[in-house]
Structure 1
């Protein structure tokens, strides 16, 4: 639905703006096109150009469109492969846009999936006639330059799926803008000022944090609004549902809370509504549950009382989470601060004036006394140097009061670095066979020791020569970001290419932290050698795994899916913090394709929705073994144990306790156990579309921990309830 809306409006804009090609290009603009071809490193859509190419009458191609009017290029649309890597280090985004702006008559500029990287230069405002700008699905980072607000003729602006961060500049001056798509970046937390003429507004998957602003009330032409996957808070204003033109509305996966009024009106044009994964309470309004077959409403994973309870949190969950959600500090008391500003400035002015007068009096007195002291100090100038000078004491950080996650981020890992081949050979003792830990589908893994004594793991992967430099640049950027509390994190890498031997593959060495305390399987399989994991420890470990998966999916771009998770790959450090190892590091295999998943794969029951739901399924398998204490070696054992849990859940508490790992007896609240079992079964659904998202997994596990904490604090530990 979302793609079709953007495509519809963009296609309409393109059709209305740009006529068919007429005339021939000037030699100057022909040279510019050849320069563009070179600067973007000859992508497939631009290959085959020569001195006889007639750019104004190219054959139809979905990946390239050039439209000419009166001997000038008025549209340039290039679409690369969705998996296009970042361009090489030789690429200069400044030089690229300097060249492009020489096409002075451009009305439509679309550069999608070309591997462009670097900050968007301010000189983009040289496009005087631009009406459509689409630079989505690249690696452009930094802030959006404020000069982008100077395009008075702009009707469509698409900057989606890049690495933009920070605040969005004021865009309310773009009075003709109909489509704005900033989705899939790191923008926020403040919302920008926008024009009221928007038809499509897409802000999904960013870091915007505020209440839904009142400016949306004036967007009378808005048909498509997507603000999902942000941090919007507070109640949902009723005007958002009754906007006269709204057809598609996605508010999912925010922190919106409160009860929806039962009598709120819905626009008759509203065809799709998603309010799932928020903190909403009360009943679903009657207009949402309209019997109209044309309207799709998704409301799962709130705390609503008149819908399917299996897909809702308990009411207490939303209450607790809503209390934890606070508005941004800078927005609190803004109005009162504005009212008092004049008074405060007046007081400050008076104080400053008084201080200045006192200072002048003191200065006069000091100067007079200095004259009298000159002779006394004439022969003793070292006296002031003998007076000890003390700097302001630095506050002592009490690490006991710093949150655990913050301590881990501060104390944890050394900075990411690029190693030399000498350092790699030295660490592994020239890849001595005794240091070989295992063979994986992506290559060998060795243990090693850095020169400072740190023990590490070194993964060796051979790559085809042709993969460099274009493929590797993207992977290296992602690789450097794979650092998280719940991952076996990447410390650095080394790339070795043998230029004198063209048939010898390039080798990349990935240096990872070493975790020596064993795997989760070790703790469950042989607790005589390890400590027995009680229920609170097991839930803390599983929520750590879930947060690690969430980081792989959303913490890097592009997300990392299909990680072949299993209980052997969950390592525990000395503090029993879970760390995912052997996840799908984004490197091409020896054949240049994605390496196949290894190990026990039990997702054959249907993983058509892709790697996200596959990882959720495998997480459910881990959770199943954590709850029962039984290790699963086959799909048959999985099906039998899952069925046993489903039956026990239906038969009641005593039966469910009987299938739980006996070693956790007396350490859990039954409500915590029941919720964990229910959610495990949901994760293991055969239909991927029925499995929860990883965000829903985390929310439910947090609930089990809240219930457990309340039960423990009431003195119930050691009893069974």
Structure 2
């Protein structure tokens, strides 16, 4: 009996400790549940979190979706991923935020971050497209265990807080698609575990931070589409770096030393100068190199073309000169080469002969001895190179003269002002009066003429905000167009649409254009038409075919003498979307991800026409044959706004006030027409020439898996995930539904982007599974 009491006491202590532990765990779980519900309140109850509302169990046990997932360990939240539907940019063209896409004015970034940091064991946070706005709170550093942070596609601005330098466990930092407008912080080397840094599509300025070159763990540096400038530092010490994306900035140095393990280098659309380093030809893992649209000079290293893994090489629109070796060898993986728009001479190496069909090669706009129709004369390239050698010295002299002149003028003005004041003071002028009267301008100059504003009914945001950067509608002569088209020879005819024939032309500067010929009725106010064309030419977007100018055949003073009008557009070389859907050849056929990319591009363009134009353009002739693809398979919408021109052309009598609206009838609604584009993208060649009635009838087949297999293009079925396909099918049904329930183009765009994200995730998972099996 002597041992019973201590043993019993020990047992009771164990039971008590177990009860206490269970109670503590329950309280902790309840506490974190309350934190999650508070976060939902901060985010203004997004529909993605509706499932939390009446859920009585442990939120850690909720099934994950593509919009929301919670991962827990030891009764604590360790991963929180939420994807909303608040787009942070109207389009790639404008970059302006949509005001009603942010959270309300009552949202507090500081309170939100404070609440988030109460989940002290978080290792992964992904809060994308939720409308979060304001400067990022410096309290974010309290998430000391965080390893992965993604706050993309929100509305954060200002500075990236320096307190984040304490988050030493971070390995992935992604702030894409926000509005950060300060310089990139120079404390990033404090994050010694950082592997991925992605800050693209912001408004960051200043120089490339030298601290990045000291983070040897980095694998991805993505800083594209900002306003960074200055010189690039030596990056060769970042031995783990695979991806370097600095596109669309203002860097003006030479190409720096780079690490040997890179697979992708994207430096296009900067102001880089000097020669292409020979060292680039020694990066054996390199697959994708884009140096286009810079000021690079000299002869490109021949080793670039023969790299074992190189598949994409773009050196277009630089100042490259000299000749490529005739016996240059090309790597087996090389599928695309663009050396156009340079000053290269001599012959084209045999391995770059695009007629073989093995690879796509662009070489126009040089002085090569091949395809002389698309080349300048050899003298042109030699002249340009000679001038460029002396340009720097002349520029310096000119700059010194200009600065000296400005200094002299400023000194004279200051001296004159002092003398004037002394004389006024000597005359006893009161000190409280301005000696130099303020000039008041009653009628300040408008960015557009008052007459144009008075008559215009189609004004883009660019024109409304001013003329800076606004393109000018060029007036072509009939002689220029006849020379460009070989007098409108039949061989230059591209096709004939509902509003006129379209010809291919080549201007005197070597640029290719598409020229549309429109016949006019006798009674027509050309003034109204010119106003409409001028305004139409001001619409610029990456996914719109740009109107460059026009030509009036006949007189421009007397309306009755004008017989035809010619519209001059940029030339898009790779055919239309309909042809790519109908063609079954391997190099032409578009897989599901490619089709989604085209659809997203067109949706962005139409969304711009609906939201970036006052009043919105809603009659845009949306058809698969009006969607053109450039050499990179980037979609560009043609025939947008043609209704207003066709209407003016077809009228036998004009009102005289140019007041016709761009708005279209309900039967021609853009969303409805886009629904048929979606439908053709799904069913492929079977849709060609069948008409709307056939397609509407086939829509019923989408309701079952067997029906889908019978109607959906086999290419789509074999290259799409079920979820991505279902999203687009559902969207198609909504677009072709009765007017009252059709989605807005903003909703259309979001659903397509979501479908693309789902597809990308599925492809990545499949690739990972395949790699694991291997």
Ranked by relative contact order (alpha carbons within 8 Å, sequence separation 6 or more), the top structure is 1
Calculate the TM-score normalised by the size of structure 2: 0.45
